[in-house]
Structure 1
Amino acid sequence: MTEAILFAITIVLPNLALMGLGFFMQRQGQASQAFIDQASSFVFNYCLPCLLFFSVVDSEVDYAKQVLLIAVGVLITFILFFGAELYAKRYIEQPADQGVFVQGVFRSNMAIIGLATVANAYGERGLSIGAVYMGVVTILFNILAVITLSRVSKSVSDTWISRIILIVKKLATNPLMVALLAAFAYKASSLPPITGVIHTTGDLLAAVALPLALICAGASIDLKSMLSLSGISMQASIGRIVIAPLIAIAVGLSFGLTGIHMGVLFLMVGAPTAAASYVMAKAMGGNDILAANILAFTTVVGMFGMAIGAGVLRGFGLM
């Protein structure tokens, strides 16, 4: 049991420490909103793509064996999405709140907190598996987000064709998706391994990705939003940090996942609400204040939920 507790602390505490540093910098006036925006853009457009590309290209993971893990992740996403949709239609009145609630429940922060925690737990091998999982499930996240948020659109030009075009554009211009597709194509080809200056530069950019992303996440925390939870935001937060991890464990075990695959599944599904949920909610006319509240609360509290879940799974030898 002691080993399980230490494991849980080890994989979560570094992330919390970096987020705490970012929050401290913000409170001290050392991290302005302009710095956060520019650093986040730098991470998203350059550092994370390098991290994903080289983690896939350099790995010896048999990606054919990840089919079951990805299929389980897709199934869990659908369960959370349709469950949240049914709940929202029955208990939430305002359409502008419904889509934000649903997105807050099913969409986790895989690219930053999920990957960082997986890397802490399993190193390069876990990072490679997590990158592939993220690449596939991210496509589904974007599709479902557009579907649930489009209920509030009042534009005549907003049709299903325009929504499909929006999804395709988002995926085609997403640096993370481009990096993953490029990595798969390179790995499938007979090209020689990447070495020398290119690889060294890529490694340096990759090394910056997760620490800087976590610092920016901490600097973006709004205590007022986090402590001003409404009934709806609390319900969504419970769905993300309690219900989602429990469903991940139940479905994962029912499909026989254990070890690193169960660990990757739990940590990716159990991560807090994705930062992109706020951006999409605001862009598509959803309740952006509600989205900010959900994001702030789950970002902090969800980390402790991940630690507890990881400790329990490790204690039973399942992760």
Structure 2
Amino acid sequence: MTAAIIFAITIVLPNLALMGLGFFMRRKGQASQAFIDQASGFVFNYCLPALLFFSVVDSEVDYAKQVTLIIAGIIITFILFFGSEAYAKRFINAPADQGVFVQGIFRSNMAIIGLATVTNAYGEIGLSIGAVYMGIVTILFNILAVITLSRVSKSVDETWISRGLMIAKKLATNPLMIALLAAFAYKALALPPITGVIHTTGDLLAAVALPLALICAGASIDLKAMLSPSGLSMQASVGRIVVAPLLAIAVGLGFGLSGVHMGVLFLMVASPTAAASYVMAKAMGGNDTLAANILGFTTVIGMFGMAIGAAILRGFGLM
């Protein structure tokens, strides 16, 4: 069991350290909001796409074997979505709170926290598998987020058709989606390996992605909001950092997953609430204060939950 605990600490501690550095830089005035916004945009538009593209192109992973993993992830997402929807309709009155609550539970931070932790745990193989999983499930995340937040859409003229077009446009212009589709196409066409300057440049961009993203995540943490959560944000946080990981384990075991596939499923699902949830809630008229509270609390506390879960699974030889 000691080895399992060390494994869990090893995969989570680097992420916490980088987030702590970002928080320290913000407190010292070394990371302004403008820097955070620009660095986050740089990571999202250039570094993460490079990381995902080359991790898929360079890997020898048999993606057909990931079908079970992806199906398990989709089922977990739907269970969390419909379960939190039912809870919100029964116990939450304000429409502006309902969608934010639901999104805070089902939508995890796969692109930053999830991928970083999977990479720490399994290296390039884990990154490749995690990238494919993230690409598929992210599409579902965006669709469900628009559906649940549409209760309080600011535009009175908006229709389901316009919302569908908006989702399609977001997916078609999403740099992460473009990078993954390009990588799949490159692999499918059996083109020669990418070498030389192009690959070296891609490697340099990819190397920046996760460290800089984690620093920006840490710099964005609002301790006041995190330490003074409302009852509603606490309920959503419990759903994200307790219910979601337990559900991941149950579904993963039900599908017979083990090893790296079980590890990827657990770490992706158990990740804190996605940073994009705050941006989307604010843009669509949801309770952005509630979204910020959920994001801040789960980002810090959720990391410890991931470590505990990983230690237990590792101890039983499941990941």
**Superposition TM-score tier, normalisation by shorter sequence:** over 0.9
Equivalent position of 2:87 in the other structure? 87
- 2:212 maps to amino acid: L
Question: 1:271 aligns to what?
Answer: 271
- In 2, Cα distance between equivalents of 1:280 and 1:244: 21
Which amino acid counterpart does residue 3 of structure 1 have in structure 2?
A: A
Structure 1 counterpart of 2:50: 50
- Whether 1:39 aligns to 2:30 is no
Counterpart check, 1:212 vs 2:219 = no
Report the CA distance between 1:152 and its aligned residue: 1.2
Alpha-carbon distance in structure 2 between the residues aligned to 1:49 and 1:162? 27
Supply the RMSD in Å over aligned alpha carbons: 0.6
State the Cα distance separating 1:136 from its structure 2 match: 0.1
Distance in 1 (alpha carbons) for counterparts of 2:215 and 2:149: 29
CA displacement, residues 83-140 of structure 1 (integer Å, 9 cap, x when unaligned): 0000000011100000000000000000000000000000000000000000000000
- Give 4+ residue runs of structure 1 displaced > 2 Å after superposition: 153-156
What code does the residue aligned with 2:103 have? Q
Q: Where in structure 2 are the equivalents of 1:236-275 lying within 5 Å?
A: 236-275=236-275
Give 1:218's aligned amino acid.
Answer: G
Counterpart for residue 189 of structure 1: 189
How far apart are residue 153 of structure 1 and its match?
2.2
CA–CA separation in structure 2 for the residues paired with 1:70 and 1:85: 22
- Output one character per residue of 1:224-278: Cα deviation in whole Å (capped at 9) or x when no partner: 1101200110000000000000000001001100100000000000000000000
**8 Å Cα contact 2:154-2:284 kept in structure 1:** no
Q: Which runs of 5+ in 2 are unaligned?
A: none
CA displacement at 1:199 relative to structure 2: 0.1
1:57 partner amino acid = V
Q: How does 1:1-319 map to 2 (within 5 A)?
A: 1-153=1-153, 155-319=155-319
TM-score, length of structure 2 as denominator length: 0.99
**Structure-2 separation of matches of 1:302 and 1:274:** 12
Shift of residue 154 of structure 1? 5.2
2:272–2:295 contact (8 Å) kept in structure 1 = yes
Cα shift readout 1:197-230 (whole Å, capped 9, x = no counterpart): 0000000000000000000000000001101200
Q: Deviations over 1:261-305 (max 9, x none)?
A: 000000000000000000000000100000000000000000000
Q: Distance in 1 between matches of 2:298 and 2:22?
A: 17
Q: CA deviation at 1:48?
A: 0.2
SS where residue 131 of structure 1 aligns?
A: helix
- What are structure 1's unaligned runs of at least 5 residues? none
Native 8 Å contact 2:222 2:296 kept in 1:
yes
| Counterparts of 1:216 and 1:17, CA distance in 2 | 12
Shift of 1:155: 2.8
TM-score, normalised with respect to structure 1: 0.99
Q: C-alpha separation between the residues in 2 aligned to 1:313 and 1:6?
A: 13
AA of the residue aligned to 2:21: L
SS across alignment from 2:207: helix
- How many residues end up aligned between the 2 structures? 319
Could you list the per-position Cα deviations for residues 158-184 of structure 1 after superposition, in whole angstroms to 9, with x for gaps in the alignment? 100011011001101110000000000
Q: How many Å separate the matches in 2 of 1:99 and 1:156?
A: 17
Q: Distance in 1 between matches of 2:158 and 2:141?
A: 20
Mapped partners of 1:30, 1:153: distance in 2: 37
